[in-house]
Amino acid sequence: MKIKCLAIDDEPLALQQIAGYIQQIPFLKLEAQCTNAFEALKVLESKSIDLMFVDINMPDLNGLEFVKSLEQKPLLIFTTAYSEYALEGFKVDAIDYLLKPFYFSEFSKAVQKAHNQFELRQNAKEVLDSNNDYLFIKSEYKLVRINLADILYIEGMKEYVRIHLAGQKPVMSLLSMKSLEEKLPEKRFMRVHRSYIVNLDKIITVERFRIVFDNVHIPVSENYKEKFQAFLNEKFFE
């Protein structure tokens, strides 16, 4: 399976170099090239992208702010002429940071890191299976069966999810919130925040659009309030 790439740089020559390097790597496929973050946003809305090469110092919206604005982030490699951005780049979970001018050998090493991470993600997706009662997920190199009835809520943590269970230790797995949301039965589970999916059957208390599980208060964000309110209205009794 090829890794679908998006290259973003406001310098035409730099963009041409990245495109040329991508074409030399057998497991990469260049899906699009953009000269600014706003063009890139349109591409992400219309195409499935696995890996982005992002210049940081761009006009209007720089690469760091662009990446921070994304709810679902592809794998990421920053390219820039400014070394002072390196720390900030890794804070947003960049796979690597290429300092211009860089050569094919450096590019190839960074891409190999991305390939390793991509394979981990793909393997995690492949072992995700479900029926109406349970999930099998990969956690710490083991397949773990999780009964849906035991799930309190699921917490998104960058590249991982933490599944909180009633009376058990949380289970960590290299999965995305989106992949879990698609597998879980929507009548029993609801996404209420970019970082939280809750088991509707386990909700006992709601305080000002915060769902309370013991000492944990899970916020319902603006994007999900309407759907969550509809659920409450259906169950509400005066």
Distance CA 70, CA 128 (A): 24
Per residue in 58-87, pLDDT (tens digit) is: 878 888 888 888 877 899 999 988 766 655
Enter the CATH code of domain 3-125: 3.40.50.2300
CB 164 within 8 A of CB 170: yes
Task: Give me the pLDDT at residue 203, please.
Answer: 94
Q: Is 93 left (phi over 0), alpha (psi -120 to 50) or beta?
A: left
pLDDT value at 89 more than 80: no
What value does the mean pLDDT take over residues 1-5?
Answer: 92
Nearest CA-CA partner of 153 in 190, 185, 182, 125: 190
Choice among 4-8, 34-38, 57-61 with the minimum mean pLDDT: 57-61
Arch. (CATH architecture) of 130-235: Beta Barrel (2.40)
Closest by alpha carbon to 14, among 89, 101, 83? 101
Kindly report, as residue ranges, where domains of CATH 2.40.50.1020 are found in the chain: 130-235
Left, alpha or beta for 33 (phi > 0: left; psi -120 to 50: alpha)? beta
Mean pLDDT, rounded, for 219-234:
91
Q: Which residues contact 236 (CB under 8 A, 6 or more apart)?
A: none
Range(s) of the chain covered by CATH 3.40.50.2300: 3-125
What's this model's pTM, rounded to 2 decimal places? 0.58
What is the residue whose two structure tokens read 């993600």? 121
